[in-house]
């Protein structure tokens, strides 16, 4: 079993739909990251969370430390949101090492 599990692996939505991507982890963490990877491969950091909730534009990320679970929500989805969304956790220690989920491939159709 992977230390970081994401669901679903693939998601197809219609433009305008509300989208939720889930991330569960089994290790103690100091922070959780949501990343976006577009076709072509470059990765952009969306959020870094250690508790509660963060919002940026149409994106919302939440984390429940007790349940070891995080969700990424996209409101009013748009075709340009189509990408792979990756959850990564940072464990303890000083190395800043991340453990990555396998990603969720999102396709938003017009």
Partner 1 sequence: DGGITQSPKYLFRKEGQNVTLSCEQNLNHDAMYWYRQDPGQGLRLIYYSQIVNDFQKGDIAEGYSVSREKKESFPLTVTSAQKNPTAFYLCASARQDSNEQFFGPGTRLTVL
Sites of contact with partner 1 (CB under 8 A) = 2, 4, 30-31, 33, 35, 40-45, 48, 86, 88, 90, 95-103
DSSP 77: -
Q: How far is the CB of 31 from partner 1 (least distance, A)?
A: 4
Residue 97, CA distances (Å) to 67, 100, 101, 107 in order: 22, 10, 14, 29
Of the pair 33, 81, the CB lying nearest partner 1 is at 33
Q: How far is the CB of 84 from partner 1 (least distance, A)?
A: 10
Minimal distance in Å, beta carbon 100 to partner 1?
3
Q: Running DSSP on this structure, what letter comes out for residue 58?
A: T
Q: Tell me the pairing of strands 10-14 and 104-109.
A: parallel
């Amino acid at each position: 079993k992977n230390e970081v599990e994401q669901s679903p692996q693939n998601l197809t939505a219609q433009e305008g739909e509300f989208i939720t991507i889930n991330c569960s982890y089994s290790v103690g963490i100091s922070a959780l990251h949501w990343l976006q990877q577009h076709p072509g491969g470059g990765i952009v950091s969306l959020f870094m969370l250690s508790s509660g909730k963060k919002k940026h534009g149409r994106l919302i990320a939440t984390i429940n430390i007790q349940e070891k679970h995080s969700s990424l929500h996209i409101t009013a989805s748009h075709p340009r949101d189509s990408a792979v969304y990756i959850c990564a956790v940072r464990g303890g220690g000083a190395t800043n090492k991340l453990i990555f989920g396998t990603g969720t491939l999102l396709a938003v159709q017009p």
